[in-house]
Amino acid sequence: MPAPTLRFQVDRSGIVRAARQAPSPNCDDRPPGTKISLLVVHNISLPPGRFDGDAIEQFFTNRLDPSAHPYFATIAGQRVSAHFLIRRDGRLIQFVPCERRAWHAGESRWRGRERCNDFSIGVELEGTDELPYEAAQYAMMVRLIRALRQRYPIADFAGHSDIAPGRKTDPGNAFDWARFRRLVAEGRS
């Protein structure tokens, strides 16, 4: 008998049970009374340009072996995370409950507000600034946003480059904002 399909919703603690859970210690409490109003789109590939393996998960859970690849030594010791990762094939992994503050934005500013980690949800797309993202990734992102908006007043979407200009470039020119916004507006993938 096939496994039951989990409902795609965000529970009170900010968990999406339909996502594979890989808890990251790189998070903390949001400031009291903070409303989650922003979704930040990022990209990541580890090593850069490679889209296989479990290095991203290891990185976000502080288990990345710095000797496994020369690039890994340059990021060893960083303590970062995101709420979600969407793999190239559309699989969804959750690292931090949405009710908690993931460490994804760093020094950042959006519409006059500093510290975007306080009021945002970070979604990493497995990818690079230059390579087009997959249809499955856009589809999963729209599905995720639909669920998130049932629980949180998310009004804005921004790239990491928008909230940290000059410091960050992701999700890059390869991310099709027009397509993304159209799909979100239509409520479909």
Nearest to 171 by CA among 52, 58, 65, 85: 85
Note the CATH number of domain 27-186.
3.40.80.10
pLDDT tens, residue by residue, 82-122: 999 999 999 999 999 999 999 999 999 999 999 999 999 99
Which two three-digit tokens encode residue 7?
């409902």
Q: Yes or no: say if 147 and 10 are a contact pair by the CB < 8 Å rule.
A: yes
Instruction: Report the pLDDT value the prediction gives residue 5, as an integer from 0 to 100.
Output: 52
CA 125 to CA 58: how far, in whole Å? 16
Confidence label for 6 from pLDDT (cuts 50, 70 and 90): low
Which two three-digit tokens encode residue 63?
């288990």
Q: Yes or no: say if 166 and 107 are a contact pair by the CB < 8 Å rule.
A: no
Q: Yes or no: say if 7 and 32 are a contact pair by the CB < 8 Å rule.
A: no
Q: Is the pLDDT score of 150 beyond 90?
A: yes
Poorest-pLDDT segment among 102-106, 155-159, 165-169, 183-187: 183-187
Positions marked catalytic: 124
pLDDT tens, residue by residue, 115-142: 999 999 999 999 999 999 999 999 999 9
Q: In the chain, what are the domain boundaries? A: 27-186
What is the biggest distance separating any 2 CA atoms in the chain, rounded to whole angstroms? 53
pTM for this entry: 0.95
Using CA atoms, how far residue 151 sits from 40, 88, 144, 162, in Å, is 17, 26, 11, 24
DSSP string, 25-75: S-EEEPPTT----EEEEEEE-SSTT---SSHHHHHHTT---TTSSHHHHHH
